[in-house]
Structure 1
Amino acid sequence: MKKKYLLKKNKEYRNVYNRGISLANRYAVIFALENRLDYSRFGFSVSKKIGKAVVRNKVRRRLKEVCRKCRNGLDSGYDYIIIARKGIEKLDFNSVQDAVENLVYRIKKKTARKN
């Protein structure tokens, strides 16, 4: 995923957390906030509760790949943050993809209702 599609600064994360809308399932939480750009940006948060660095990085890489694949299905002009929950590290890639795509589908419906 290119750097322009990633949230980098703490200020950007805080803005999405405080002003955005959120949805959750058993394995992840997603936050979304309109960003006034013509493309979407993503942020990922994987806590130390999930495991050591190797495990956290593996989860983060999987989340990035899922977002890269489903980026076309998301509305442009939004910032998204995906927070991994405990238990996601035990899933295989397809299960992670299903969990995130379900959240993406639900957040897309929620943002469409909001507008």
Structure 2
Amino acid sequence: MLARANRIVRGDDYRAVVRRGRRVATPNVVVSVVRRAVEPDAPTRFGFIVAKTVGNAVTRNLLRRRFKGIAHELLVTVPTGHDVVVRALPAAAQATWPTLLEDVSRSFARGVEKAA
């Protein structure tokens, strides 16, 4: 779904976004956004954190796939040069697709405003 250029794959990158990024929280997710000053024209990258507190492996993988689909839809409209980490909260396990889509897209938009 997401090309390698659009994924955060290194642990150091995850930590940097979570520590330095602007956080926007909803009942289902916490989205951290940071603008990459070094590469402002690079593609936006997404990373996902779904802890064991969310549910069993089936539930966690389902949420991760949903977040990847949401990120794929957002890539068309998002500005370049951002790193985004989406962390699922336990309530996300019962959330519907439209609810997750709205939470992530609205949180991302607010995070980009704060990071600018």
TM value normalised by structure 1: 0.90
Query: What letter corresponds to residue 13 of structure 1 in structure 2?
Result: Y
Deviation of 1:19 (Å): 1.9
Q: Report the equivalent of 1:23.
A: 24
Cα separation, 2, equivalents of 1:26 and 1:73: 24
2:40 matches 1:48: no
> Where does the alignment leave 5 or more consecutive residues of structure 1 unmatched?
none
Structure 2 Cα separation of the partners of residues 111 and 102 of structure 1: 14
Q: Look up the match of 2:14.
A: 13
Contact 2:44/2:81 (CA < 8 Å) preserved in 1?
yes
The answer to whether 1:102 aligns with 2:106 is yes
Equivalent residue, structure 2, for 1:92: 96
- Identify the range of structure 1 (70-79 vs 44-53) with the bigger mean alpha-carbon deviation: 70-79
Residue matched to 1:39 = 43
SS in structure 1 of the partner of residue 34 of structure 2: strand
Q: Secondary structure at the match of 2:59?
A: helix
Instruction: Quote the Cα distance in structure 1 between the aligned partners of 2:60 and 2:12.
Output: 23
Gaps of 5+ in 2: none
**Same amino acid, percent of matched pairs:** 26
Q: Distance in 2 between matches of 1:60 and 1:92?
A: 13
**Aligned length in residues:** 112
TM-score by length of 2: 0.89
